[in-house]
Amino acid sequence: MARGGRSPDRLWAWFAVSSVVSLVALSISPMKDYFRDYRRYQESYRQRLLATAGSSKELQAAEAETVRVRQTWIPQFGDRVDRCQSCHLGVENVKMGGSEEPYRLHSPTPHTPGDFRRFGCVACHRGQGRATSLTEAHGRVPGWSSPLLPLRYTEASCGACHRGLHVPEASLLSAGRALMDRVGCLACHKIAGWTEWRSQAPDLDGLSEKTHVEWLRAWLEQPRSLRGATWMPDFHLRDEEIDALVAFLWAQPAKRPQSAASDAEPPLGDHDRGRKLFRESRCISCHTVEGRGNGSASELAGIGSKVSRRWLFAFLADPHSFQPGTAMPQYDFDRQQLVDLSTYLMEEMVDPSAPAAGAPFRPSAKRVAEGEEIYQKYGCSGCHHLGGRGDAPPIGPELTGIGGKPAALLDFGVRGDLPHELPDWLAAKISHPRSFREGLRMPEFGFTREQVESLVTALLSYDSTEVPEEYRVTPEAAHYAPPGRFGELARRYRCLSCHQVQGVGGDIATAPLTAEGSKVKESWLASYLLLPTSIRPILTDRMIPLQMSEERAAFLANFMTNVFLDDGIPGEIFSDRPPREQAARGRRLYYERYGCHSCHQREGSGGYYGPPLDDVPLKLRSGWVAWWLQGPQRWRADVRCPDFGLDAGAARDLSAFLVTSAHAPGRAEGRP
């Protein structure tokens, strides 16, 4: 009885407790939702809309706004669901330009505002699209592997779809990828999809003929102590490692140049003639001297303290047999010129702080063998060719997918000071690779802060996001191989080190040669190849005089003006001299309407930015001039001459004026 009397009481108690518990449990979900930040952001945003409404329609729209989760669903891009706009309410509202987060208008990018529905938010900014609370949405929760990308690295996301080295409109990413290419990350680290990397480091055969042991030792100790701008990194080698490496390199025989092979010491030449030749040859179009010059090739100051005169003489005579992969053209110097030039360089380009040559060095076989191990250990062959060795496999870890690696999987080693974030880890790795643990091999490159930032951006771009085919932008691989005799000469003079033809080639020269024949006259081109006059005096990197024969110049000019043609560009548009009144109209357009003289020299006055235009009649085809004026960027996208939107008539008038010789009789109407 007693038991039966207690039982209903207990049951009641249990019932009360469990109903309260289930009530609480049931309320958790609506409560969580109720306290989501987006509710008050949406309420506040609605107030802003009401306050800024400029018409009754806008007012009605603002009043009709309800608090809800706002999402973008992109089925074609991995079924993404981004709810970021539940808080970031003003991203598409131009009235929110000056607002603070999270109401701010998204700043314009090549894909904003046009492509919100195509990309959503997370594809560029990372984070967790489906989440609706602040920390979860920004991905700052354990287990979420792609937290919000700090804004300064957002360009990394451009690189997920844009696979090319140069990504237009993503300057930081492009700078980073270009730097990766230049410094040779690919020498040690593989990145899937990046197959066309080529080292610019010199071959190391026959160093004992090129330089002296003391120089090599100092170089290996700290390359930048001898040449500040070198990309050879500092491997922090120990003394015994340097000794072994020097011994190994010293034992490697020279590759014999075929044409200039001569064991005799060349005679001393004339210093002044050499200096004149050095300047005329415009070596600084590629090299630098004390930092002045283009900088795509090595610094020449100090070279006299590094190389032997015999080597320099032979190298200048036949650079390609020493360095088959070099971008350096073969100048057609005669023997006296080679003697003068090498004399000048050896006497002038001296670095007083460089070590002097000592006694002859004979490495022991044991040391040579040790050196070979060191050579392999640090992956020297990733950048340098030596003897008949093939390319060794990269010694560093593969970097495919590095940009999406979860921070939990990174080895922070002894760097307890670093925040556990991927960008910080990458920045520290690049800046001080050896600071993580003992025994690491990655060398130090001495990057500046900006360089580190661009490199981190580039590395973050190699993440493992699966990008659908239709989103990918892979630049078409350009293929052009100059044919026949033209090809032989183009390789000898390394035309494509500076110029581009059909998208292939370097970018030192501003002028692509693809449509050269539609542009210039054959006679002008032939004389220009013999004696390149400055087209744009402001440029450091100008066309070099290759000392070629008249026959070769004529052949090259004939080939280019007959082969490098663009059918869309008319040749000559005037059968004879252009009508005088047409040229007069062009003159007015030139000086009064378009202010061409702001940038161009003609008749002794004008700016020095664009090419001087007095020689247009001898140089350019009239059809080209008219075509150019109607859209200069069609020739090259980054041409600085603005597109004035000229119609065909105005372009013809201007062409008539420009192809009429400035000094022809009857042309002295005087400029306004």
Binding residues (CB under 8 A) for another protein: these are 13, 16-17, 20-21, 23-24, 27, 31, 34-35, 37, 40, 100-102, 107-110, 134, 138, 140, 148, 150-155, 169, 171-172, 419, 421, 423-424, 427, 449, 453, 538, 592-595, 598-599, 606-609, 633, 638, 640, 642-645
Query: Helices in 589-663 by DSSP H: which ranges?
Result: 616-619, 622-629, 648-659
Query: Which residues does residue 520 pair with via DSSP β-bridges, in sequence order?
Result: 620
Rounded to a whole number of angstroms, the minimum distance from the CB of residue 112 to another protein is: 9
Name which of 550, 549, 547 is nearest 341 in CA terms.
547
Rounded to a whole number of angstroms, the minimum distance from the CB of residue 62 to another protein is: 21
For residues 133 and 204, give the distance between their C-alpha atoms in angstroms, rounded to a whole number: 59
Name which of 296, 302, 304 is nearest 494 in CA terms.
296
Rounded to a whole number of angstroms, the minimum distance from the CB of residue 87 to another protein is: 8
CB contact at 8 A, 222 and 230: no
Compute the 3-state secondary structure of the chain and give helix, strand, coil in percent, each to the nearest 5.
45, 5, 50
For residues 597 and 324, give the distance between their C-alpha atoms in angstroms, rounded to a whole number: 45
Name which of 453, 458, 433 is nearest 443 in CA terms.
433
Backbone angles phi, psi at 151, to 5 degrees: -55, -35
For residues 410 and 402, give the distance between their C-alpha atoms in angstroms, rounded to a whole number: 10
CB contact at 8 A, 624 and 561: no
Backbone angles phi, psi at 594, to 5 degrees: -110, -5
Nearer to another protein, 75 or 645 (CB): 645
Rounded to a whole number of angstroms, the minimum distance from the CB of residue 565 to another protein is: 26
Rounded to a whole number of angstroms, the minimum distance from the CB of residue 106 to another protein is: 11
Nearer to another protein, 100 or 469 (CB): 100
Rounded to a whole number of angstroms, the minimum distance from the CB of residue 295 to another protein is: 16
CA distance to 63, 194, 271, 300, 326, per residue, from 349 (Å)? 77, 38, 12, 7, 21
Rounded to a whole number of angstroms, the minimum distance from the CB of residue 69 to another protein is: 18
Task: Please state at what angle helix 365-377 crosses helix 239-250, rounded to 10 degrees.
Answer: 110
What is the DSSP code (8-state) at residue 145?
Answer: S
Rounded to a whole number of angstroms, the minimum distance from the CB of residue 23 to another protein is: 7
481 Cβ contact list (under 8 Å, min separation 6): 487
Nearer to another protein, 23 or 264 (CB): 23
User: Tokens 């092979």 correspond to what residue?
Assistant: 261
CA distance to 246, 251, 263, 307, 372, per residue, from 362 (Å)? 10, 8, 20, 19, 16
Nearer to another protein, 37 or 318 (CB): 37
For residues 469 and 213, give the distance between their C-alpha atoms in angstroms, rounded to a whole number: 54
Cβ density class 632-653: b for 16+ within 10 Å, e for less = beebeeeeebeebebeeebbbb
Rounded to a whole number of angstroms, the minimum distance from the CB of residue 640 to another protein is: 6
Q: Is the dihedral of CA 117, 119, 124, 130 positive or negative?
A: positive
Rounded to a whole number of angstroms, the minimum distance from the CB of residue 307 to another protein is: 36
Nearer to another protein, 434 or 597 (CB): 597
Nearer to another protein, 125 or 320 (CB): 125
Rounded to a whole number of angstroms, the minimum distance from the CB of residue 551 to another protein is: 39
Q: Checking phi first, is residue 64 left (phi over 0); if not, alpha (psi -120 to 50) or beta?
A: alpha
Nearer to another protein, 557 or 651 (CB): 651
Cβ density class 344-358: b for 16+ within 10 Å, e for less = bbbebbebeebbeee
Nearer to another protein, 160 or 496 (CB): 160
CB contact at 8 A, 481 and 487: yes
Nearer to another protein, 100 or 470 (CB): 100
Nearer to another protein, 231 or 594 (CB): 594
User: Tokens 């040749």 correspond to what residue?
Assistant: 571
User: Tokens 């008038």 correspond to what residue?
Assistant: 653
What is the DSSP code (8-state) at residue 72?
Answer: E
Nearer to another protein, 9 or 239 (CB): 9
Backbone angles phi, psi at 595, to 5 degrees: 60, 40
Nearer to another protein, 272 or 592 (CB): 592
Nearer to another protein, 156 or 246 (CB): 156
Rounded to a whole number of angstroms, the minimum distance from the CB of residue 67 to another protein is: 12
User: Tokens 């032939």 correspond to what residue?
Assistant: 526
Nearer to another protein, 202 or 632 (CB): 632
Q: Which two tokens stand for residue 254?
A: 């020279």
Rounded to a whole number of angstroms, the minimum distance from the CB of residue 267 to another protein is: 43
Rounded to a whole number of angstroms, the minimum distance from the CB of residue 294 to another protein is: 17
Nearer to another protein, 25 or 365 (CB): 25
User: Tokens 């700090």 correspond to what residue?
Assistant: 150
Q: Which two tokens stand for residue 558?
A: 């004939």
Nearer to another protein, 420 or 580 (CB): 420
For residues 459 and 523, give the distance between their C-alpha atoms in angstroms, rounded to a whole number: 49
Rounded to a whole number of angstroms, the minimum distance from the CB of residue 154 to another protein is: 6
For residues 608 and 226, give the distance between their C-alpha atoms in angstroms, rounded to a whole number: 37
User: Tokens 């109407």 correspond to what residue?
Assistant: 669
Rounded to a whole number of angstroms, the minimum distance from the CB of residue 228 to another protein is: 22
Nearer to another protein, 547 or 601 (CB): 601
Amino acid in the structure at residue 213: V
Rounded to a whole number of angstroms, the minimum distance from the CB of residue 584 to another protein is: 19
